[in-house]
């Protein structure tokens, strides 16, 4: 810290000379332009085009010419399916924070130690995350199938009528959230395992010597030490919930009766598949603003302690 403070007190010309001497400026000049070019081509320009297209009634063919101003945004604000999609997205965020993350933390606390048996359990729990989202959606659509799937087999073995979960307006989204928790909890579990393995064993042993119970060690020793990992995990959970798409499309395609749409599947269904690119672009702009707002808010209020 003292060295950094002394460096800041040097004249600008001296700091520049030292940077040139240690190769820092050369590295920036070599590495920064390609990164800026890629970021501009694949992030800034598409965002700018989406913002531009959102003011047109455009089907994606030819140049947009039917300028409608804020009409697309007004249609979105008054569309009940969009309200449902926003509500579902918020539910996924809540489920990710209140069920998925605690489940991942519980399993991490059980298998974080480096043993052959724990390694096997880590692999088993992490496999759903490795599985492609579309494949996971297709697998679970078979599991929930009321005619030929696992649900039908269980119903037949119990002698009751089969239940079509994905066709039920009240239960379809419950099934979707179940798949999402199953699919992504392993990712958060691995984050917690890596953090738990860095907790000094001396602290845990000292707690045991002092008579601390297992839950007390978890609460007062392990969880405070992995708090940065929990904060990062929660950020990934929130941003990931805003982007849920690949699991839902093969599972329900937004149905039944548009009950399982998220913001992204809403964009896909009512924008891209219906060749209403201007409308879809407006949804994309809203989603981008929401994601940026969440990221800035989270960084400001939850990650500011990590800057020190």
Q: What is the pLDDT of residues 139-174, one digit of tens each?
A: 999 999 888 888 888 888 887 888 889 999 989 999
* Domain-embedded: residue 6: no
pTM for the structure as a whole: 0.85
Whether 210 maps to a domain, the answer reads yes
**27 lies in a domain?**
no
Cβ neighbours for 238, distance < 8 A, ≥ 6 positions apart: 93, 96, 97, 294, 298
CB 247 within 8 A of CB 227: no
State the pLDDT confidence band at 2, using cuts at 50, 70 and 90: very low
Say if 25 falls within a structural domain.
no
Q: What is the mean pLDDT of the chain?
A: 88
How high is the pLDDT of residue 307? Answer: 47
The single-letter DSSP state of residue 197 is T
Q: Classify residue 86: in a domain, yes or no.
A: yes
Q: What is the pLDDT of residue 284?
A: 93
Q: By percentage, how much of the chain surpasses pLDDT 90?
A: 57
Is 100 within a domain?
Answer: yes
CATH of residue 104: 1.10.3720.10
Whether the pLDDT of residue 21 is over 60: the answer is no
Per-residue model confidence (pLDDT) at position 67: 93
Peptide bond into 256 cis (omega under 30): yes
Higher pLDDT, 195 or 306: 195
Q: How many domains does the chain fold into?
A: 1
Q: Mind listing the pLDDT tens digit for each residue in 227-245?
A: 999 999 999 999 999 999 9
pLDDT tens for each residue of 68-107: 999 999 999 999 999 999 999 999 999 999 999 999 999 9
User: Between vectors from CA 305 to CA 302 and to CA 308, what angle results, nearest 5°?
Assistant: 150
Q: Which residues of 277-295 are buried (b: 16+ CB within 10 A; e: fewer)?
A: bbbbbbbbbbbeeeeeebe
Instruction: Identify the residue whose tokens are 């042993």.
Output: 205
Within a domain: 101: yes
The DSSP 8-state label assigned to residue 114 in this structure reads -
pLDDT at residue number 8: 53
Q: How many whole angstroms separate alpha carbon 86 and alpha carbon 82?
A: 6
Coil/strand/helix, residue 45: helix
With residues binned 3-state (H G I as helix, E B as strand, rest as coil), the percentages for the chain, rounded to 5, are: 75, 0, 25
Q: What is the pLDDT of residue 308?
A: 41
- pLDDT of amino acid 153: 85
Whether 279 is in a domain gets the answer yes
d(CA 107, CA 210): 26
CA 251: distance to chain centroid? 18
What is the span of the domain harbouring residue 185? 80-307
């Amino acid at each position: 810290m003292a060295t950094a403070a002394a460096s800041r007190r040097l004249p600008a010309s001296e700091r520049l000379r030292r940077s040139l001497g240690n190769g820092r400026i050369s590295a920036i000049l070599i590495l920064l332009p390609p990164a800026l070019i890629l970021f501009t081509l694949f992030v800034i320009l598409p965002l700018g085009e989406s913002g531009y297209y959102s003011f047109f009634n455009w089907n994606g063919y030819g140049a947009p010419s039917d300028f409608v101003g804020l009409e697309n945004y007004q249609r979105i604000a008054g569309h009940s399916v969009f309200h449902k999609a926003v509500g579902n997205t918020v539910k996924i965020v809540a489920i990710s924070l209140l069920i998925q993350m605690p489940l991942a933390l519980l399993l991490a606390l059980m298998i974080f130690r480096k043993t052959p048996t724990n390694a096997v359990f880590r692999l088993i729990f992490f496999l759903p995350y490795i599985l492609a989202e579309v494949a996971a959606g297709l697998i679970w659509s078979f599991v929930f199938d009321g005619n030929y799937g696992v649900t039908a087999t269980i119903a037949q073995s119990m002698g009751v009528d089969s239940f079509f979960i994905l066709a039920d307006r009240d239960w379809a989204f419950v099934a979707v959230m179940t798949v999402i928790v199953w699919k992504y909890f392993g990712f958060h579990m691995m984050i917690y395992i890596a953090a738990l393995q860095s907790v000094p064993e001396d602290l845990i042993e000292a707690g045991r010597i002092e008579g601390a119970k297992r839950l007390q060690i978890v609460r007062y020793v392990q969880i405070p030490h992995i708090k940065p990992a929990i904060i990062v995990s929660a950020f990934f959970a929130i941003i990931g919930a805003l982007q849920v798409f690949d699991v839902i499309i093969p599972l329900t395609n937004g149905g039944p009766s548009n009950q399982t749409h998220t913001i992204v599947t809403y964009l896909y269904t009512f924008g891209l598949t219906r060749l209403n690119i201007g409308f879809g672009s407006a949804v994309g702009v809203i989603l981008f603003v929401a994601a940026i707002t969440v990221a800035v808010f989270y960084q400001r209020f939850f990650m500011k302690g990590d800057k020190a």
